[in-house]
Amino acid sequence: EVLSCAARGWPNKQIGLHLEISDRTVQVHLQSIYQKLDVTNRTEAVLRALVLGIVHPIEGASE
């Protein structure tokens, strides 16, 4: 869920509020995701997740 929210462009604070976890917990989850996807940042993680089909493009996201 953290990665799906990140794919929407949400900042850590908004992800935390949505998932009812702290900003720090979001950051820890993202670091774990980066390691698992062998990437170094949020943009690379989202792109890799899209390519792998882990998350799906959001209609109207570019508007």
Task: Give the count of domains, the chain.
Answer: 1
Domain assignment present for 45:
yes
Domain assignment present for 14:
yes
What's the pTM value of the predicted model, to 2 decimals? Answer: 0.84
> How confident is the model at residue 45, as a pLDDT?
97
> How confident is the model at residue 59, as a pLDDT?
58
Domain assignment present for 59:
no
d(CA 35, CA 46): 13
> For tokens 């209609």, what's the residue?
59
> How confident is the model at residue 58, as a pLDDT?
74
Question: Domain range holding 48?
Answer: 2-52
> How confident is the model at residue 63, as a pLDDT?
39
> How confident is the model at residue 56, as a pLDDT?
86
Domain assignment present for 24:
yes
Rounded to the nearest 5 degrees, what angle is found at the Cα of 10, between the Cα atoms of 16 and 5? 70
Q: Any long-range contacts for 54-57 (C-beta under 8 Å, 24+ apart)? A: 54/3, 55/3, 55/4, 55/7
pLDDT tens by residue, 16-63: 999 999 999 999 999 999 999 999 999 999 999 999 999 988 755 543
Domain assignment present for 60:
no
> What's 19's domain CATH number?
1.10.10.10
Domain assignment present for 9:
yes
- Mapped onto helix, strand or coil, the DSSP state of residue 58 is coil
